[in-house]
């Protein structure tokens, strides 16, 4: 994984913690949540405060996420909102934490100026020991406070102030006044600078979980279903009518269609469909060339076209289907019959703009593993697992491609591929290159209307 780390494609955008003050605050919060402390004096943290260095020290990458549920978090700065979430067990966790930070930014800024904020994403399930228990997770709420209990004390002080204002004899209650003064020394002026955090609760109807080999749970759609990455026969006791695995291509296609969750790339508004199809075909050529032990270091698009011609007889059905669709789009060729059982089918789709677009694009990425860019953008957990199994030639090409053509403009690439309404992560402000740089060298080519 060293190539990914060096290029910022893994563990990128983490927050560096090297100040003795912040390390001490982190340790207080860590002790408060887990009863443990770190001996590290410099480490990096993600949006939840998880540190890969501390995970390695403890030999436990779930030290803030016991059993994969009810994720705990440590906030040292509001800048953590832009960091990724490592070892995600639920697809909703990062968006929940990000929304919590953004909705309470001024309060958290004031609190983290003096202390760490520790908290937990709480649901009613403490142990998911069977897939059926996932269906007991309905809502997630956030509980958070500083290690010294500033928020709780501020709330109590606020109640005292209300009592002082409303009770007729409160001016003569020396005990009440003394308690208020003592508590105000710890909380500050809660009248002028309130430190209440918003009570936030999130429905958990549709999400992906890494537990049990990976599962997509869609309960908040008109026709609910569960889609599992392993054998569906191992999930025959789920309390839902339909359960599919990734081999059930026609059933998944029908599920996505009847719930109006996807659209053909070729019909999507605001994207250069031909450019995207060309790029997907290049990735498939790269896969074939890597299997033939070709040296892909520094391979250009021209090199991939040459390799495509060289190994034309070995190009799989997925490539052939995309090529037929491209001929229709660019050359007025016949409309190709690409059914849901065709290997190219899911490569031709993207999520429609809706609340669960990110989740649907995650599913499509897992159904189209040869599209390495979509896999990296939409489903990093599966990408990293797949990367570990690839030959070195493929790893070198993929890292070079992502560094050269994705890192330069993440937000622009996601916009070009998925539209404005499907941000996969916090965009970083950069100068925007042209469409050719973002999605391929065919941006100037038109398509038939």
Measured CA to CA, the distance from residue 219 to residue 136 in angstroms comes to 12
Which one, of 321, 214, 205, lies nearest residue 264 by Cα? 321
Per-residue pLDDT tens digits for 54-63: 999 999 999 9
| Three-state SS at 1 | coil
Measured CA to CA, the distance from residue 36 to residue 93 in angstroms comes to 23
Total residue length of the chain: 449
Measured CA to CA, the distance from residue 51 to residue 46 in angstroms comes to 7
pLDDT band at 157 (very low <50, low <70, confident <90, very high): low
Six token digits for residue 436: 């050719």
Which one, of 68, 77, 24, lies nearest residue 49 by Cα? 77
Residue found by looking up tokens 């539209």 in the block: 419
- Run of H or E residues at 121: strand 117-122
DSSP letters, 154-192, are HHHHHHHHHHHHH-TTGGG-HHHHHHHHHHHHHH--TTT
Give me the phi and psi of 344, to 5 degrees please. Answer: -85, -10
417, pLDDT greater than 90 = no
Which one, of 134, 106, 100, 137, lies nearest residue 119 by Cα? 100
Measured CA to CA, the distance from residue 351 to residue 265 in angstroms comes to 9
pLDDT band at 439 (very low <50, low <70, confident <90, very high): very low
Measured CA to CA, the distance from residue 250 to residue 321 in angstroms comes to 17
Which one, of 74, 61, 67, lies nearest residue 31 by Cα? 74
Per-residue pLDDT tens digits for 102-141: 999 988 988 898 889 999 999 888 889 999 999 999 999 9
Per-residue pLDDT tens digits for 340-387: 999 999 999 999 999 999 999 999 999 999 999 999 999 999 999 999
Kindly report the CA angle at 346 between 380 and 398, in degrees rounded to 5? 40
Q: What does the pLDDT read at residue 2?
A: 86
| Three-state SS at 245 | strand
Per-residue pLDDT tens digits for 257-276: 999 999 999 887 767 888 89
Q: What does the pLDDT read at residue 384?
A: 95
Q: What does the pLDDT read at residue 106?
A: 85
Q: Other C-beta atoms within 10 Å of 99: how many?
A: 15
> Over the Cα atoms of the chain, what is R_g?
26
Asked if 23 and 31 count as a contact pair (C-beta separation under 8 A), the reply is no
Measured CA to CA, the distance from residue 72 to residue 15 in angstroms comes to 17
Which one, of 354, 329, 357, lies nearest residue 272 by Cα? 329
Residue found by looking up tokens 């019959």 in the block: 337
Q: Other C-beta atoms within 10 Å of 130: how many?
A: 12
- Run of H or E residues at 218: strand 215-218
86, pLDDT greater than 50 = yes
Q: Kindly state the average pLDDT of the residues 206-227.
A: 96
Q: What does the pLDDT read at residue 428?
A: 36
Q: Other C-beta atoms within 10 Å of 110: how many?
A: 15
Q: What rounded mean pLDDT belongs to the chain? A: 86
SS3 letters across 372-441 = HHHHHHHCHHHHHHHHCCCCHHHHHHHHHHHHHHHHHHHHHHHHHHHCCCCCCCCCCCCCCCCHHHHHCC
Q: What does the pLDDT read at residue 168?
A: 72
Distances from the Cα of 274 to the Cα of 323, 367, 371, angstroms: 10, 21, 15
150, pLDDT greater than 70 = yes
Q: What does the pLDDT read at residue 188?
A: 59
């Amino acid at each position: 994984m060293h190539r990914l780390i060096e290029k910022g494609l893994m563990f990128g955008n983490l927050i560096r913690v090297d100040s003795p003050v912040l390390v001490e605050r982190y340790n207080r919060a860590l002790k408060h949540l887990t009863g443990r402390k770190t001996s590290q004096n410099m480490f990096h943290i993600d949006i939840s405060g998880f540190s890969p260095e501390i995970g390695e020290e403890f030999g436990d990458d779930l030290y803030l996420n016991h059993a994969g549920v009810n994720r705990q978090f440590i906030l040292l700065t509001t800048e953590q909102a832009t960091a990724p979430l490592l070892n995600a067990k639920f697809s909703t966790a990062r968006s929940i934490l990000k929304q919590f930070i953004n909705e309470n930014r001024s309060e958290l800024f004031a609190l983290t100026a003096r202390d760490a904020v520790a908290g937990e994403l709480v649901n009613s399930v403490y142990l998911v020991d069977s897939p059926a228990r996932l269906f007991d997770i309905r809502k997630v709420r956030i509980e958070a406070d500083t290690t010294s209990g500033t928020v709780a004390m501020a709330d109590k002080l606020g109640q005292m102030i209300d009592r002082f204002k409303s009770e007729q004899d409160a001016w003569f209650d020396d005990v009440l006044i003394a308690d208020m003064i003592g508590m105000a020394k710890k909380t500050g002026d809660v009248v002028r600078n309130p430190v209440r955090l918003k009570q936030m609760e999130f429905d958990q109807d549709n999400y992906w979980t890494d537990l049990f080999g990976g599962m997509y749970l869609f309960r908040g759609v008109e026709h609910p279903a569960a889609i599992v990455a392993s054998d569906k026969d191992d999930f025959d006791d789920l309390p839902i009518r339909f359960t599919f695995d990734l081999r059930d291509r026609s059933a998944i296609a029908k599920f996505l269609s009847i719930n109006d969750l996807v659209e053909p790339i070729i019909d999507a508004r605001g994207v250069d469909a031909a450019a995207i199809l060309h790029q997907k075909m290049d990735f498939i050529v790269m896969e074939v060339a890597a299997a033939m032990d070709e040296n892909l270091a520094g391979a250009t698009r021209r090199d991939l076209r040459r390799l495509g011609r060289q190994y034309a007889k070995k190009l799989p059905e997925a490539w052939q289907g995309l090529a037929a669709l491209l001929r229709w789009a660019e050359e007025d060729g016949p409309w190709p019959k690409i059914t849901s059982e065709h290997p190219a089918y899911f490569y031709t789709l993207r999520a429609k703009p809706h609340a669960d677009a990110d989740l649907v694009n995650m599913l499509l990425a897992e159904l189209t593993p040869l599209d390495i860019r979509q896999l990296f953008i939409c489903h990093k957990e599966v990408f990293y697992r797949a990367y570990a199994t690839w030959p070195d030639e493929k790893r070198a090409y993929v890292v070079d491609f992502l560094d050269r053509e994705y890192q330069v403009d993440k937000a622009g690439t996601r916009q070009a591929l998925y539209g404005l309404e499907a941000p996969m992560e916090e965009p970083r402000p950069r100068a925007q290159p042209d469409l050719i740089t973002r999605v391929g060298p065919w941006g100037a080519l038109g398509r038939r209307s």
